[in-house]
Amino acid sequence: MIFLSTRILVTPAVYLNNINNKNANGDHSIHLIRVSNTISIKTPTTITSWLAGSTHIINWTSTGDITNVNISLYYSGSYHGTIIPNTPNNGLYYWTLTSTYENYGDFYQIRIEDSSNSSTFVISEVFTIFAISVTSPAYGTSWEAGTTQTIKWIATESISNVNIKLYYRDFIFHSNIATNTPNDGSYSWTLPETFSDYGDHYKIRIEDASDFNIYDYSFTDFEIREADSDPSNDDDNQDDELGDFLDTTGYNFPGFEPFAFILIFGVLGAIIIIGYYRKFKKSA
C-alpha cells in the first residue's frame, strides 16, 4: 500500500486559478483568486422597443458569488418601480410589462443589483416603452388614389378605440381617416379619388381615442399617387426599367436578365442605375 505524504494547502476563495509547484517546504499549494462581484446587462439595449402589456426577457451576466438580484425600472433617471425583488441570479427574467404607463418613450432603464449588497449594481442603456406603433404603411409604400388599402398597427390592450389621421409635408394635418374605431390592429381605408398634392410625403397618425397624447406616426413617409399611375417603388417596374436601360446602353446580352445584373452589381447599384435611366428617359 502506498501512502502519499504530500500536503495540499488550499486558500479559501471563489474560483480556482492555478496549481503552483512545490514551495520551500515541499508542499503543493492550490491558489484560488476571489473574483469581484459584477453585473452586466445584455438586454434591453438602446435599440430595444417594448409594447406595454407584452412579455420580454431581461438578460444579464454576472461574476463573483451573487446569489439573488433585485430588478427595478427607472424613468428619466429616477426610480419608477420594482419589477422583481430577490430573484435568482440565473441571467434572465421574463418580465410582463404593465398595460399602461403615465409616460411613454425612450427614457426607460433597467437597474439590477445584488440583493445582499445594493452597492453592486448596473443600469441599462435607455430603451423605449410604447403604447402604439404603426406598422403599415411602411418604407417604400405607394398607394394609388381611389384604391382600398389596409392600415396596420399594434397597440396595448388597455386602449379600446383609436383615431386614424392623415398628415403630409412635415406633420401638417390633412384629414381624418377614422374616428373612434376599434383597436383591433387594422383598418381598411378607401383613399379619396383625387388629392391636391400627390407625392411621397404622407404619414399616418394613430392615437388613443381617449388620450390624444398617446400616439404614433408611420415610421417613414409613404407615397400617394394619382390613379392609374405607376408606383415609383414598384419592383416589376424597376425590373423593366433596368432591362430597358441595358438594351439602350448596349450592356444587354442574349440571355442576360436584369436579375443577373442585380446579383453582379448589387441592389444599391441597380437602384442608382435605374435613377440615372429615369433622368435619361425624361431628357430624351
Q: Summarize the confidence of residues 148-164 as an average pLDDT.
A: 97
Q: What per-residue confidence (pLDDT) applies to 31?
A: 59
The pLDDT of residue 271? 52
Stretch 219-227: mean pLDDT? 95
Compute the half-sphere exposure of residue 193: CA atoms within 13 Å on the CB side of its CA.
0
pLDDT (mean) for 96-125: 97
Domain with CATH 2.60.40.1930 in the chain: 132-225
**2 or 230, which is more confident?**
230
> Residue 75's closest CA among 4, 128, 137, 25?
128
**CATH for the 38-130 domain, from 2.60.40.10, 3.30.930.10, 2.30.110.10, 2.30.31.10:** 2.60.40.10
Residues 151, 32: Cα–Cα separation, whole Å:
62
Q: What is the mean pLDDT of the chain?
A: 81
- Which residue, among 36, 98, 38, 90, has the nearest Cα to 59 in the 3D structure? 90
**Grid coordinates representing 237?**
417596374
Could you tell me what percent of the chain has a pLDDT over 90?
Answer: 67
Q: Per the structure block, which three cell numbers stand in for 212?
A: 390624444
pLDDT single digits (tens) 17-42: 454 555 556 655 555 667 899 999 99
Mean pLDDT, rounded, for 125-134: 98
Please, which pLDDT band fits residue 8 given cuts at 50, 70 and 90? Answer: very low
Asked if residues 239 and 247 have their Cβ atoms less than 8 Å apart, the reply is no
Top pLDDT among 234 and 38 is at 38
* 8 Å CB contact between 233 and 274: no
What pLDDT does residue 35 have?
A: 83
Confidence label for 3 from pLDDT (cuts 50, 70 and 90): very low
pTM of the model: 0.68
Residue ranges of the chain that CATH labels 2.60.40.10: 38-130
Task: Name the more confident of 156 and 247.
Answer: 156
The highest-level CATH class for domain 132-225 is mainly beta
Query: Which residues, 6+ apart, have CB-to-CB distance to 172 below 8 Å?
Result: none
Q: Which three cell numbers stand for residue 85?
A: 425583488
User: At CB < 8 A and 24+ separation, what contacts does 133-137 make?
Assistant: 133/49, 133/51, 133/216, 134/204, 134/205, 134/206, 134/216, 134/217, 134/218, 134/219, 136/218, 137/204, 137/218, 137/222
At residue 239, does pLDDT exceed 70? Answer: no
SS3 assignment, position 44:
coil
Instruction: Band the pLDDT of 126: cuts 50, 70, 90.
Output: very high
Give the integer Cα–Cα distance in Å for 17 and 34: 9
Return the pLDDT at 34: 72
